[in-house]
Structure 1
């Protein structure tokens, strides 16, 4: 009996391979968010101050195209991994390309080098991102109760990397390697932030190469079509069932709504960063908070809220009605996003009729509150979505459908870049107010579709 109890206790532990994946993903997210926190500032800062001197409209479009295609290539990278490479080879290839992309940005003094660096990052992310998420799911049986918890742990590691990144890379760019004249910065060290991001990716790849064989075994080693019989893959030639097709349709419907969530959420790296730089009072006594540090708010809120949200879902699941459904959680996420932008409307109102007068600033608490509500919304939507893809996807389409999930961020980031490019055309009230109305409205529409989507997912 003692041995039986010991075995039951051990099965509740997560496999060590999960933490190998989590560490590798954490370092990649450090690399990405360290770069992302600096990119729009690097593009728009004057040449003499260490940037590229690109106008806001063009910089917004460049940022949007880059951030969009970062989430478009995973659908191709996922398909190539399923069909030809296997997840682990795709991860190694993707990590190498990301690292080279960051080093190219470090060496950037011309637009040609900028475009090369961004292209390498786009291609690398396509191979890396969907395959990491799929390996997490493959560590567990299809209906293993630990799977949701595993994705929560995975998501927390993502946010640890994302939290550290702007602090490290931003401090290097705006403090350590910045040239100052008194308290005024006359030149920024953005390139050293990109260098730190590349080194972070290098550390993650070394860890993955050293530990993957020991702790992952054959998981992700082979393409789905060439997996050894002792692996858990199913027959890829078997046609999709009617129910599998209904589940795939449900995924696509949810992806449609989620696209609008991310379009608002991703303003953090574009329009909200520009607004923070120009119109938010960042003074705490004699200290001026670096713009990039505000992008650490979302991940640290995620780390804090992760266990709380997980406990909340468990508590709700014990009710007679059970836990909230996937569509209900995602509609709640969209409504919270809209409420966050409503706070930014408050920031605009505080500045009154100041318009583009950078001497009139709004209190930073508006921005902090917005990031908090956006994060709660994200926790209702993103981890739930990753788990949903793992549960509902037919095995032979798992990476492809993970790419489809990420495809929502492709369209969202394109939209975010376009919105940022109009920062000088439309008023801030028009931009933030429109996002508020659209997000809350679509959240309620998704709520109305709840029963229909639940029946399609069964």
Structure 2
């Protein structure tokens, strides 16, 4: 195990650095709605609109950032741009709080005063920064883990650090802000800026020593890149009438053919698997996103949370998932290492199937609970059911997310890695919109019964996610053999 740890030194280093970025990203996410409602005085509809548009934009932006990262900047430069952008965002959000004027009037539309302008500029820099950092961290781990097996181990190490960052960010916001101390947002944003500065300085000071591959060699960044100056010159040249005419007359089919010609046959096969995989992950993330939407409604209304005079706040529910990931992550890694030594490790597609089936079982538990609530024999469910739900969900997430990150590196050509990782990240945007539409049908009124089955009740509602999970798993089971053949694992092992 000592040798294994030494060989993964670079992965542990960059994962530790990523902790600072993720604590800020998810710390902001945990209080975003409260900030809109109680600090900016936005109405609930306006808050929902701003939330959906911001995160829709934030999860689509990585496609553009991925293209820029592939073509014009190396991993270290991209990470630098990300950290600087995030630090600027926290400064601007802090300024937003200092410009606050509490008029006590609920806003149904955005008023473009200095406070709201600074806020949206700050959110733009936050989305820009998180796009650069998330892609860079993944790309670096993919680069320093030089073979097929170590990439899986690398992302198994990386993923618990993400969840530790989430836990730290949520705890910082919970301790500083609490439920009603909304005047302390400026302090929270200042602390987040300091955390980012510490992470950025540590990366710059120690990357030469610790950012090494599995053989102890410094990470190479020898990709063929253009310079920022070249990019600026291309933009200026594009403004000429002649260039504009060329752009106007570009044939999309020729562009696609040019892209295809840059790939060999095995790379094309793996990209086909990649796009099938994207459809599966959209389904998974749509179902998983209900933990931030429908599950909050369910816990608020149908879960016993009061113990004497103490009532457990709904927002503490968000600590369960990262906490279970941190506990189960090392266990998951040890089991995987043991199976690898025995030559019995699971195929990535098999792990995705297991994950989807566990996810379906999680929501089947809610279906059963929902049935008894619908027929009125159960008023509120015991909190232990929610803990069990999140425990199983964490197992599902480990079986899905770690192979998912690992497969991005397997399936994409190195020269297009950041671009396709951006597309992989952008699936969250589609999933968020679909999840939001489904959660809008969360049943609020007593259901109508047909043959003792609740129609539009809680059982029927949660059964939607059971069906989605099972269908996605069945697609992978049916086409597993063909998809595995198109992976061309023998090439991956040789490379």
TM-score by length of 1: 0.81
Question: Is residue 39 of structure 2 the alignment partner of residue 54 of structure 1?
Answer: no
Structure 1 pair 318/28, CA: closer, same or farther in 2 (3 Å)? same
User: How many residue pairs are counted as aligned between the two chains?
Assistant: 422
Counterparts of 2:471 and 2:295, CA distance in 1: 22
Q: Offset at 1:16?
A: 3.4
Question: Is residue 127 of structure 2 the alignment partner of residue 139 of structure 1?
Answer: no
- For the Cα contact (< 8 Å) 1:86–1:220, is it kept in 2? no
Counterparts of 1:90 and 1:412, CA distance in 2: 26
- Matching residue of 1:441: 471
Q: Secondary structure at the match of 2:35?
A: helix
- Matching residue of 2:238: none
Name whichever of 237-246 and 159-168 sits farther off.
237-246
Counterparts of 1:242 and 1:273, CA distance in 2: 47
**Matches for 1:54-453 after TM superposition, within 5 Å:** 54-55=43-44, 57-106=45-94, 107=96, 109=100, 111-143=116-148, 145-174=149-178, 178=180, 192-216=187-211, 219=219, 221=221, 223-225=223-225, 239-317=262-340, 322-349=344-371, 351-352=373-374, 361-423=380-442, 428-453=458-483
Q: CA RMSD in A?
A: 3.2
Structure 1 pair 313/92, CA: closer, same or farther in 2 (3 Å)? same
- For the Cα contact (< 8 Å) 1:61–1:421, is it kept in 2? no
Structure 1 pair 345/424, CA: closer, same or farther in 2 (3 Å)? closer
Q: Offset at 1:162?
A: 1.4
Counterparts of 2:160 and 2:143, CA distance in 1: 19
Structure 1 pair 118/278, CA: closer, same or farther in 2 (3 Å)? farther
Counterparts of 1:361 and 1:51, CA distance in 2: 34
- Matching residue of 2:14: 21
Structure index of larger Rg: 2
Counterparts of 2:486 and 2:80, CA distance in 1: 36
Counterparts of 1:238 and 1:306, CA distance in 2: 41
Q: Where does the alignment leave 5 or more consecutive residues of structure 2 unmatched?
A: 101-114, 213-217, 228-258, 445-455, 489-495
Name whichever of 126-135 and 90-99 sits farther off.
90-99
- For the Cα contact (< 8 Å) 1:255–1:405, is it kept in 2? yes
- For the Cα contact (< 8 Å) 2:374–2:459, is it kept in 1? no
- For the Cα contact (< 8 Å) 1:89–1:221, is it kept in 2? no
Structure 1 pair 350/198, CA: closer, same or farther in 2 (3 Å)? farther
Counterparts of 1:314 and 1:9, CA distance in 2: 13
Counterparts of 1:195 and 1:416, CA distance in 2: 33
TM-score by length of 2: 0.75
Counterparts of 1:116 and 1:346, CA distance in 2: 46
Counterparts of 1:394 and 1:445, CA distance in 2: 25
Deviations 1:116-168 (A, max 9, x none): 3332222212211111111012113234x433222211112111111222222
